[in-house]
Structures are given as structure tokens and as C-alpha cells.
Amino acid sequence: MTKTQFTWRLHRWLGWIIGLQVLVWVTSGAVFAWLPFDPWVKGGDQLQRPALALAALPPVVEGLDASRVTALSAVATPHGPAWRIAVQGEAAARYVPVGGGTWTPPDARAVERFAATFLKQPAPVRSVDLLPSVPRRLGIVEETAGRGNVWRVQFDDRLGTRIYLDGHGGDFVAIRNEAWVWYDFLWRLHIMDYRGGHDFNNTVLRVATLFSWSLVAAGAVLAVLALRRAARRRA
């Protein structure tokens, strides 16, 4: 096999391999350019956060060492305003009503009513589910980034809006819809990170760059050989 034949075969196979990924890059790039990001993907057309009116400062939590508190935030919940307290060594956050008292996790009816307040345009509720883990979409898309123990309230609107709330406190976690799912799916294919969807300097992408470079190098060699043959014919 001559050098030219070998280079042609290498160039052809590399073209098939890289060509498929280039098709994914171009297709996903076109979707990114045309799909309304803030209104659809981020749920801007639907999401409105409820007003949070606080009438008191954080109550003293009896029996809790203040040095173990890593975060304290005021959140809106189905039971009204509450303090969300992250405690060192505890996986789940604690919730304390702003007015004091014992916290009771919200039920499905309370969650459904509360989730409806997040929508600018009312829509019928399709289902309300308490999920220990959120199933993946399209094989690789994680709507809550792996977070479990959440309420999922699905609405029957044009984008299939889903509101996710914390399973214990009922406070807002995320808004998702079908536009978001497809955007995230294509984004993962675009950066070739099929797990977290954030690492655009991963091993798979690095290997793809080597194949891409080899494809271009093989094309450059073929171009030089073609120019040499043309020069010989003219001579």
C-alpha cells in the first residue's frame, strides 16, 4: 500500500468518525441558536416566584448549636414563610416556621396548590408525585442534577411544565419542561459530557480533538500530494 493510498483510507475513516460528531455539533448549535432560551428553556414565560413576606427575625432553635449551622435562608413553602437551616453533619435541611412551632411536611394537596402559584399562566395539573429519585430523560438528562426526595407537579401546558419542590420542606427546587430536556440533551452531546453535562474538557472530547486534528492533517497531506502531482503533469 502506497503512502497516498494509506492516507486516503485514513482520511476517509476519520471523516466518517468525526463527521458524525460534527453533525451533532452543527445540529445542536442550530437548536441553541433558534430555541428561545429564557422564555422556554429557563421557563421565563411561566415561572413567577411567590412573594415572601417576613414578619419576624429567625426564632431561636432550641437544642441547636449555632456553630453547626452552615446556612440559613428564608424560603416560601406551602405552609407559608419558613427558615431553612442547613446543619453540619445532617444530610437534610431543617425547616422552622417563621412564626415558630413544629414543622410538618406538606401533603400532596398543599404541594399542588403551592406549585400552581409559580405559574404566570394557569394550567391544569396532570399529576403530583413524591419521588425518592427523579428518572432520567432521554437516557442521560437529569432534571434535578441527581437530587432526590422531591415533589414533582406536572402541568398540562404546551411545554409540559414541571415544578419540583423539596420533599420535606416544599420549597422551590427547579422548573423544567420539554424544551429544557431537549436543550440539556443536545448540550451534553455538544460538549460530549454524557454524565454531569458541565465538563467541556473531558477525556472523550480530548480524544475527539485528536481525531479531528488527524483528519485535518491527513487532508493537508493529500492536498500537498495533489499539488505535487499537478506540478509534475504541468512539467
Q: Are residues 73 and 172 in the same domain?
A: yes
Distance (Å) of CA 93 to CA 82, 87, 88, 181: 12, 7, 10, 28
Residue 181 within a domain:
no
98 contacts 76 by C-beta, under 8 angstroms: no
Question: Which domain covers residue 123, as residue numbers?
Answer: 44-176
Look at the pTM and tell me if it is higher than 0.75. Answer: yes
Residue 227 within a domain:
yes
Q: Are residues 125 and 163 in the same domain?
A: yes
Provide the b/e sequence for 3-29 (b: ≥16 CB within 10 Å): eeeebbebbeebeeebeebeeebeebe
Residue 124 within a domain:
yes
**Distance, CA of 130 to CA of 183 (rounded, Å):** 25
Q: Are residues 163 and 220 in the same domain?
A: no
Residue 182 within a domain:
no
Q: Are residues 164 and 55 in the same domain?
A: yes
Residue 109 within a domain:
yes
pLDDT tens column, 67-103: 788 888 899 999 999 999 988 888 889 998 888 788 9
Model confidence band, residue 173 (pLDDT cutoffs 50, 70, 90): very high
Residue 140 within a domain:
yes
Residue 205 within a domain:
yes
Q: How many C-beta atoms lie closer than 10 Å to residue 142's C-beta?
A: 17
Q: Are residues 51 and 128 in the same domain?
A: yes
Q: Which of 176, 201, 226 is a domain's end point?
A: 176
Mean pLDDT for the stretch of residues 159-164: 97
Q: Are residues 32 and 82 in the same domain?
A: no
**Residue in the structure block whose three cell numbers are 467541556:** 200
Model confidence band, residue 3 (pLDDT cutoffs 50, 70, 90): low
Residue 55: predicted pLDDT: 63
**Distance, CA of 144 to CA of 61 (rounded, Å):** 30
Residue 80 corresponds to which cell in the numbers above? 407559608
Look at the chain and report how many structural domains it folds into: 2
Nearest to 171 by CA among 74, 43, 49, 76: 76
Residue 207 within a domain:
yes
Q: Are residues 86 and 197 in the same domain?
A: no
Q: Are residues 167 and 64 in the same domain?
A: yes
Q: Are residues 128 and 193 in the same domain?
A: no
Q: Are residues 23 and 51 in the same domain?
A: no
pLDDT tens column, 11-37: 677 777 777 777 787 788 778 878 888
Sheet holding 125-131, edge to edge: 125-131, 150-155, 162-166, 172-176
Q: Are residues 31 and 50 in the same domain?
A: no
Q: How many C-beta atoms lie closer than 10 Å to residue 234's C-beta?
A: 6
**Distance, CA of 166 to CA of 150 (rounded, Å):** 5
Q: What is the mean pLDDT of the chain?
A: 86
**Distance, CA of 87 to CA of 208 (rounded, Å):** 44
Residue 122: predicted pLDDT: 93
Q: Are residues 170 and 193 in the same domain?
A: no
